[in-house]
Amino acid sequence: MKVFITNLEKHAGKFVPYSVNIPLASLGIQVPGNEEGIMHVNIQASYLGDQVLIRGDWHVDLQDVCSRCLEQTVCRLEEQFTEEFARLDDPVSVDLHEKEGSWEQNDFVYSGEVLDLTEYLRQSFLMSQPFKVLCREDCRGLCPVCGVDQNYEECRCQEENIDPRLRVLEEYKNKKQ
């Protein structure tokens, strides 16, 4: 995703909106089962002299599997951000900067007439991976004993799972009667 500085300069001090849909593949990201995945990006960029302020958000809908019930589900990843990109006119120091791998907050740079957000968005996506994919917050998952999907069916495993010693006692009582 490229933002052209000359265009921002014309509207210096104001926010210029950009909307793009970026295939994950073109960000160098591969998510199994989501080869056609798209990142939807909405930003506003403002030229402030020697730096560019960018604020906005992105979201990606990924096909995934619920970690509790194993059903196919859509998992939305999203992020909001506000970032300042400083102008660095010496291309050599831009190279050094990138080699050191120091993509930290408040540490973004651009040089020349193009501000390329590709690496920024790639990093942002990689850091937003969900801890756990769920089809819904209160998914009841599969019964660990019989494998029934407890969102749809009640199984009797909990009831039947009584202490075997109690069961012997129960049978003994039944015999006596």
Is residue 75 a contact residue for Zn ion (CB under 5 A)? no
Q: Which of 5, 41, 54, 69 binds Zn ion (CB under 5 A)?
A: 69
How many Cα atoms sit within 13 Å of 80 on the Cβ side?
0
CB of 112 to Zn ion, least distance (A): 48
Q: What is the dihedral of CA 127, 133, 135, 138, to 10 degrees?
A: -110
- Residue 7, both tokens: 């265009």
Closest CA to 110 of 94, 129, 131, 123: 94
Q: Which of 24, 27, 60, 68 binds Zn ion (CB under 5 A)?
A: 68
CB of 72 to Zn ion, least distance (A): 10
Nearer to Zn ion, 48 or 146 (CB): 146
* Span of 90-98, 111-119, 147-155, 163-171 interacting with Zn ion by CB under 5 A: 147-155
Q: Tell me the site size for Zn ion, rule CB under 5 A.
A: 11
* Span of 5-13, 16-24, 34-42, 67-75 interacting with Zn ion by CB under 5 A: 67-75
Burial class (CB in 10 A: 0-12, 13-18, 19+), 16: middle
CA distances from 114 to 6, 151, 167 (A): 8, 51, 75
Nearer to Zn ion, 45 or 135 (CB): 135
The span from the CA of 102 to the CA of 108, in Å, is 9
Is residue 146 a contact residue for Zn ion (CB under 5 A)? yes
- Residue 158, both tokens: 């909990």
CB of 9 to Zn ion, least distance (A): 50
Is residue 122 a contact residue for Zn ion (CB under 5 A)? no
List residues binding Zn ion (CB under 5 A).
Answer: 66, 68-69, 135, 139, 143, 145-146, 148, 155, 157
